[in-house]
Structure 1
Amino acid sequence: MSIFRFPLLVWLGIGILVICLGIRQSFGIFMMPVSDFFGTGREFFSFAIALQNLLFGVFQPFVGMAADKWGAKRIIILGAVSYALGLYLTSIATEPSMLYLSLGVLVGLGLSATSYVIVLGAVAKVVPAEHAAKAFGLTTAAGSFGMFAMIPGAQTLMTEFGWQGALQGFAMLCTLMVAFALFMRTAKSSTTEQSNQAEQSQTLKQALTEAFSHRGYWLIHIGFFVCGFHVMFIATHLPSYLADKHLPASSAAMALAYVGIFNIFGSYFWGVMGDRFSKRHVMSALYLMRTLVIGAFVTLPVTESTAAIFGGAIGFCWLGTVPLTSGLVRQIFGAKYLSTLYGLVFFTHQVGSFLGAWAGGRIYDYYGSYEPIWWSTVVLAFAAALIHLPINDKPVQRLAMVN
């Protein structure tokens, strides 16, 4: 199936992700002006963002269950409203503690209801199983483009209207997510899976019991935990690591820019590979690539050139795990409760993200060096490559009997 023949819902989902993730990616540039405005250190803003990310993961399984029960459209609309309200309340806050509710809780809830888990769950219901990973990869790549493209817009808004005006502009932009969601229709599909009466009659409790008793589902959790650990450790600590190597700040900015650019191509590439080959084998290949890339980076001399090459190489396999992981869950358990089951896996990813950011600082403070944590990420990447090999990726018996 050509990407141009994907249903309208896929393109609407892409639009939602571009806005949702693009705004989220820009929060870092608000740290200094917001901290200066309230006359506090950077810790309170950092904690608000940390709370946001943690609640993003905590809310995700419950929001996924709600989407599976009442439909993605309603959940995305409610999430966009929460997102917009959180941004607006942040812009008019007079006390820094208000940011914990607005930027932390409300935006965290908004993210969980408008990002990958909900959108991919809706896409899964309108795209045939054999093209799911490609559709997931395209959707993830577009979200990655939003991450890369929104920051210049945020900087321009901040220059023209101040940080309060920029956040209010973003709050207005959230109304586009509402507009896109209003046109989302989960059209009835003629695919075997969606016409499968066994799947349609399955309850949420039965779906959870089925997944929790499947060893492969827990292996998928472990693999996605490693992904979260990698992504947040590198995003949080790479600039400091390069500074320790006496490289200019511009080298870190360039490396992170390459992560964003190559992530766009990588997300789609790994999704396409997931449709053509065994998803578990492709996932193992992705983590093996991470093993080699990170291992080479910490072994070779760190220069501006190797930092840039590392950014591009790790960016190529940065979020390629998203279409493969969600595709594996859909392939094994079906599309009906994908938002719930993938939402639980995403929560594990966020636990890994939290530990990756925290452990990087903790280990650096203890050893005075990032070397131990870098080598830990190499070991974890290799372990994740091995963990995916024994996953039984065949559809569960409930689906296989019909097929």
Structure 2
Amino acid sequence: MNDPIRRAAPAVALVLLAAAGTFALTMGARQSMGLFLGPINSATGLGIASISLAFAFGQLWWGLTQPFAGMVADRIGAGRVLLAGVLLVALGTALIPFMTSTAGLVLAIGVLAAGGAGMAGPSVLMSATMRLVPLEKRGLATGIVNAGGSFGQFVFAPIAQGITAVAGWAASLQSLALITLLALPAAWVLRGSHAAAAAAAGATAKPLSTGEAIRQAFADRSYRLLAAGFFVCGFHVAFIATHLPGVVASCQLPPAVGAWALAVIGLFNIVGSFAMGWAVGRWRMKSLLSLVYATRALAVLAFLLAPKTEAVVLLFAAVMGLTFLSTVPPTAGLVAKFFGPANMATLFGFVMLAHQVGGFLGAWLGGKAFEASGNYDWMWIADILLAAGAALVHLPIRENALPPRAVVAA
């Protein structure tokens, strides 16, 4: 009885290492890009708003790729999708220093790097993890994978800042591109699809087609409310990841504070992700999401009113880190609970698309607001209002599973 369990443990650990490691490398590279906004502007003279457009398009494209990457992964397997995604992240990141126009930056940052990160992003990684991990461990597993992205941000931001200080921002981006390639072996570990797994298990129930699953999901009010809340999450995450170094600079604080603020967000996000992975098996996921968004609203309000010192910035980063990506495990868990794992990558991909539409607006409007007013105050106010709205939006969600005949076969 114990021997099979002991033999299975390394396989589960390997799956979690592959998924969390991939998310760490791709998310770490993406979430460190805000450190290069100023240097890119100094080198190209394009203006903060124009460069923010490239970052904003990256947020949108990262989301747009996820449902389609999920469809491919659900049908032919996650391995090939992840392989292509990691290579595109490395290529796009390496090309950024050679781009001197807005269109070039949109291509490198927005299409290649962000698109690759979307292909190797949460929808495919979470789906592959749920397929390969036992049911009773899925809540904690999603928290561990999510923590991987946080760990990547914690590690990459200081590394990027340190290389920039020693060798310049271009060399720093080239280094990040090479480090990202360490995720390539994960494509082999996470290979396979839900369809193949179901066939191997001898499943007799015919899973819904992709089109049927999408129509069923969008007809469900709870799914739409969940996507609306995740839109707000994207707005917060993209605005802070892109513009927090600019906020620090506008407060006349040293640039290193911006890098450490991003690192602190990543560090405390690890704590938040593990805690949320543990909590989703014990409390209602919609209630946890409401609590996270309410906490964000209060944290931003306190930061807006507080004096902007190094200690205040780092404390704010710590609080935001606890909530930064902790929305992912309960959101992914609700999608799986509503519709089953067979089309998980596709349906969670559409929720991620809503997240990234919010991300596009958060990154782009942050640059527009700063150019118009010289500060980010209006963006912080929008953050507070949206977070309060998201806390309320999750309350009507019906968390109970759909009737048996409507649940997609695993």
Q: TM-score range by the shorter chain?
A: 0.7 to 0.9
Would the aligned equivalents of 2:34 and 2:243 in 1 still touch at CA under 8 Å?
no
1:121 aligns with 2:111: no
Query: In the alignment, which of 73, 82, 91 is matched to residue 85 of structure 1?
Result: 91
What is the identity, as a one-letter code, of the residue corresponding to 1:132?
A: R
Per the alignment, residue 14 of structure 2 pairs with 8
Q: Which moved more, 1:317-326 or 1:386-395?
A: 386-395
Select which of 356, 362, 366 maps to 2:362: 356
Aligned-partner Cα distance in 2 for 1:383–1:94: 39
Cα shift readout 1:366-390 (whole Å, capped 9, x = no counterpart): 6776444433322322221222122
What residue number does 2:326 align with? 320
Rate the CA distance shift 1:156–1:21 in 2: closer, same or farther, 3 A: same
Gaps of 5+ in 1: none
The correspondence of residues 2-401 of structure 1 with structure 2, limited to 5 A, is 6-31=12-37, 34=40, 45-90=51-96, 97-155=103-161, 165-186=171-192, 197-198=204-205, 200-241=206-247, 251-362=257-368, 370-398=376-404
Q: Single out whichever of 373-382 and 104-113 deviates more from structure 2.
A: 373-382
SS in 1 for 2:229: helix
TM-superposed deviation, 1:245: 5.5
Contact 1:126-1:186 at 8 Å conserved across structures = no
**Pairs aligned (count):** 400
TM-aligned CA deviation for residue 398 of structure 1? 3.4
Q: Which amino acid aligns with 1:137?
A: G
Name the CA shift for 1:312/1:92 in 2 (closer, same or farther; >3 Å).
closer
Q: Secondary structure at the residue paired with 1:335?
A: coil
- In 2, distance between residues paired with 1:303 and 1:211? 46
Measured in 1, the distance between the counterparts of 2:301 and 2:202 equals: 47
Q: How far apart are residue 363 of structure 1 and its match?
A: 5.1
Aligned-residue RMSD, C-alpha: 3.5
What's the offset of the Cα at 1:131?
A: 2.8
Q: Identify the range of structure 1 (368-377 vs 308-317) with the bigger mean alpha-carbon deviation.
A: 368-377
The answer to whether the 8 A contact 1:129-1:331 is kept is: no
Query: Normalising by structure 2, what TM-score?
Result: 0.84
Aligned partners of 1:262 and 1:313 also within 8 Å: yes
Q: Which SS does the other structure have where 1:216 is aligned? A: helix
Distance, in Å, in 2 between the alignment partners of 1:190 and 1:339 is 14
Matches of 1:272 and 1:8 in 2, distance apart?
Answer: 20
Q: Supply the AA of the counterpart residue of 1:106.
A: L
Please report how far the alpha carbon of residue 49 of structure 1 lies from its aligned counterpart in structure 2 after TM superposition. Answer: 2.9
Shift, 1:39, TM fit:
6.6
Residues of 2 paired with 1:99 and 1:363: CA distance? 21
For residues 254 and 82 of structure 1, do their structure 2 counterparts lie closer, same or farther at Cα, with a shift above 3 Å needed? closer
Structure-1 separation of matches of 2:235 and 2:99: 32
What is the CA–CA distance in structure 2 between the aligned matches of 1:238 and 1:110, rounded to whole Å? 24
CA contact (8 A) 2:64 2:353 kept: yes
Q: Which amino acid aligns with 1:208?
A: I
How far does residue 243 in structure 1 lie from its aligned partner after superposition? 5.5
Contact 1:79–1:110 (8 Å) recurs in 2? yes
Tell me if structure 1 keeps the 8 A contact 2:65–2:118: yes
What SS does the corresponding residue of 1:326 show, helix, strand or coil? helix
CA drift of 1:360 comes to: 4.0
* Fraction of identical pairs, as percent: 37
CA contact (8 A) 2:157 2:259 kept: no
1:39–1:182 distance in 2 versus 1, CA, 3 Å: same
Contact 1:57 1:351 (C-alpha < 8 Å) held by counterparts: yes
Q: Deviations over 1:107-128 (max 9, x none)?
A: 2221111121211111111223
**Structure 2: gaps (5+ residues):** none
* 133-142 or 366-375, larger mean C-alpha shift: 366-375
Deviation at 1:130, TM superposition (A): 3.8
2:154/2:262 contact within 8 Å kept: no
Distance 1:79 1:246, change over 3 A: closer
The worse-fitting range, judged by mean Cα deviation, of 373-382 and 95-104 is 95-104
Letter in 1 for 2:228: I
**Paired residue secondary structure (2:116):** helix
Indicate the larger mover: 351-360 or 222-231. Answer: 351-360
The CA distance in 1 between the partners of 2:245 and 2:267, in whole Å, is 17
Per the alignment, in what secondary structure is the counterpart of residue 313 of structure 2? helix
Deviation at residue 14 of structure 1 after TM alignment: 1.4
